[in-house]
Structure 1
Amino acid sequence: MIRYPQLEAGASIAITAPSSGVRQELHGLIHQAQARLEAKGYQVVVGKTVWTQHNAKSAPADVRAAELNAMLRDEWISLIFPPWGGELLIELVDLIDYGAIRPKWILGYSDTSVLLLAVTLMTGLATAHGANLIDNRGEFADETTGMWENVLATRAGESVRQQSSPKYQLAWDPDNPSPCVFHLTEPTYWRTVGGGSAKMSGRLLGGCIDVIRHLIGTAYGDVARFRQTHLNGEPIIWYLENCELSTADMRRSLVQMKLAGWFDHCAGLLFGRSGAERSTDGYTAEDMYRELAEELGVPVVYDVDCGHVPPQLTFVNGARADIEVNEGKAVMTQIFVE
């Protein structure tokens, strides 16, 4: 059974930094994002960890965990929205009081996906992989990024439909800020192994492969138990995105996931666009995707709207999804079924 929070109009949003905080010279980004949320009618509370950054983290693990646990227990808070990812969220997974979490959304990507996946696997509470708080500081959002509110407002038992983006951002251009934050210039094209159309249906799980792979072999990464306890054995669609891994390191990580049983009862795999896919001795990402499709016997789709090359769809861990890809365009319908 999966439990789904719901984001209501005027809800309370808490900003905390369970991974990296924001250095003083960038505090204006937080103020901008907070103002945008408050202009929409949300009530916003900002934790102390957001304003500090030292030694690759916002604060010591116990400080970050205390602030996060307080927000997770607070029934007044409807959404926890970290400013961005970082490096060392893994330090918190054994400090979270999973049994005390009140139903609420957690939204983000990159290092935040460790928290998202651990919470869903441990509790059956749906979490949302999508744009960070900082990505929502613009005067307006592109149609893909802006869907996070519609997705999080979906009621249990209902469905929400998202389409692949029209265009994506090739590179960051901080010297030329725009009202929309992202500079979307390149035509989006979801690619499939084999080059044809693809369909898949199953429960969504995933995140940034660089970091969620470190849950393998821990109590917080027990996918088999989660599938039996919360999904009644339904198949899983994995969505994965690569921040920094070479193709060989990505391949090693995927093999480890397979050996750990994460890909048992898999209905398909989605891989986000990545600027990190460096070939290794001629071994390319396309080679890797092809090998994985052959080994698992499932559809594999890549250059998906997910991760560090924006914009990205909002993927809900635990939701049932029907995904269709045809001629580079895609439609994903997520159904919030228990």
Structure 2
Amino acid sequence: MSTARVLPAPLAKGDRIGIVTVSAPEPARNLDQFDHGVDVLRSRGFEPVTAAHALGEHGYRAGSETALLEDFHTFIADPEIAAVVCAGGGKNANRLLRGINYALIAAHPKPIVGVSDPTVLLNAITARTGMPTFHGPAVLWDFGSADAPAATIDHFAAVLAGEAHSARVGAPLGWARPGTAQGHLVAGCLSSLRCLLGTVWEPDWRGAVLAWEDAFKPVEQLDQTLTHFRDRGVLDQISGMVVGELLGCEPSGEMGAQEMVMDLCAEYGFPIAFGLPFGHTPLKHTLPIGAEVLLDSTAEHGLTITSPWTATVAEGEQQ
């Protein structure tokens, strides 16, 4: 974990957003929906710019490691690009981890947004640079969806603009174990985060609030993955856990996800909340990975961001 804390500049209407594909060739295979997502960003006052290889196909990836890294680094270094947003997901974003120029990112801090598979990159970037990254909507599956809730796009725009009200996450949480916890946020798809365990890009778990979600995994597979986190020592170090809405994660042996989590976490005392809409759900909150958050079962808003996440948010303003 970098000791320096770098904050990205906020995003404003009229800014140019660079769109990259870091894994599967989903935009090329869903071009109409991708184009709709680009149009939605434009309708919200932004100027989308599509990377050179974002619409490519290279087997099960959109391009070679070299090509996809070139797209990413080009937008990071370009002062005219205010934010970088991932087009979609996939399975192999971790192929880019060793090639990312983390010093370049720290020298050109700007919002970087992704969901699902690309969250492996977000958490690695935050771990190596100290800069918050953003777990939020994808161009293809969120902005490009005809059924995308307006609240998803509204929260994305508010968080990236650094608007103070967006620090109070308005989703009602279900408390399986009440309590309070404060720490930096590690957030993402559980099976993607697992790719960082034991690597040089692994997040700093000490005192962290872990927010995780996943999709289309049976509960026994979620158990296997979360057990890996336990055996790596992650659950010994975190201060709180938030489990998001689990899309298509069916019970195994009549055991649901909440029962599994509480069984696996029985020996720990940290608070555990369920039901946060983020990640694979159509309605999703944009979460700043690396920012300090407060998890509080007694508060009106169970999850609150308590530290600046963009360069223009004053200390303590969010509260």
TM-score higher than 0.5 here? yes
1:170 is aligned to none
1:218 is aligned to 199
Rounded to whole Å, the distance in 2 between the matches of 1:274 and 1:62 is: 34
Rounded to whole Å, the distance in 1 between the matches of 2:296 and 2:150 is: 22
Secondary structure in structure 2 of the residue aligned to 1:219: coil
Secondary structure in structure 2 of the residue aligned to 1:92: helix
Rounded to whole Å, the distance in 1 between the matches of 2:95 and 2:104 is: 19
Q: 2:113 aligns with which of 99, 107, 113?
A: 107
Q: 1:160 aligns with which of 158, 167, 174?
A: 167
1:250 is aligned to 222
2:317 is aligned to none
2:272 is aligned to 300
2:5 is aligned to 2
2:128 is aligned to 122
Give the unaligned 5+ runs of structure 2. 310-319
> Counterpart amino acid of 1:254?
L
Give the CA RMSD over aligned residues: 2.6
Residues 76 and 133 of structure 1: is their aligned pair in 2 closer, same or farther, counting only changes over 3 Å? Answer: same
**Is 1:288 aligned to residue 260 of structure 2?**
yes
**Is 1:332 aligned to residue 303 of structure 2?**
yes
> Counterpart amino acid of 2:162?
T
Rounded to whole Å, the distance in 2 between the matches of 1:265 and 1:14 is: 36
> Counterpart amino acid of 2:7?
Y
1:240 Cα shift?
0.5
Tell whether the 8 Å contact from 1:202 to 1:321 is kept in structure 2 after alignment.
yes
2:312 is aligned to none
**Is 1:263 aligned to residue 217 of structure 2?**
no
1:203 Cα shift?
1.4
1:193 is aligned to 176
1:21 is aligned to 25
1:62-211 paired onto structure 2 within 5 Å: 62-101=66-105, 102-134=108-140, 135-137=142-144, 141-154=149-162, 160-164=167-171, 190-193=173-176, 198-211=179-192
Residues 158 and 281 of structure 1: is their aligned pair in 2 closer, same or farther, counting only changes over 3 Å? Answer: closer
Residues 138 and 212 of structure 1: is their aligned pair in 2 closer, same or farther, counting only changes over 3 Å? Answer: closer
1:326 Cα shift?
6.5
Rounded to whole Å, the distance in 2 between the matches of 1:276 and 1:2 is: 37
Residues 78 and 263 of structure 1: is their aligned pair in 2 closer, same or farther, counting only changes over 3 Å? Answer: farther
TM-score, normalised to structure 1, is 0.80
Secondary structure in structure 2 of the residue aligned to 1:50: coil
Rounded to whole Å, the distance in 2 between the matches of 1:277 and 1:321 is: 27
Secondary structure in structure 2 of the residue aligned to 1:207: strand
Give the unaligned 5+ runs of structure 1. 165-188, 228-234
The number of equivalent residue pairs is 301
TM-score, normalised to structure 2, is 0.85
Rounded to whole Å, the distance in 1 between the matches of 2:153 and 2:179 is: 24
Aligned identity (percent) is 23
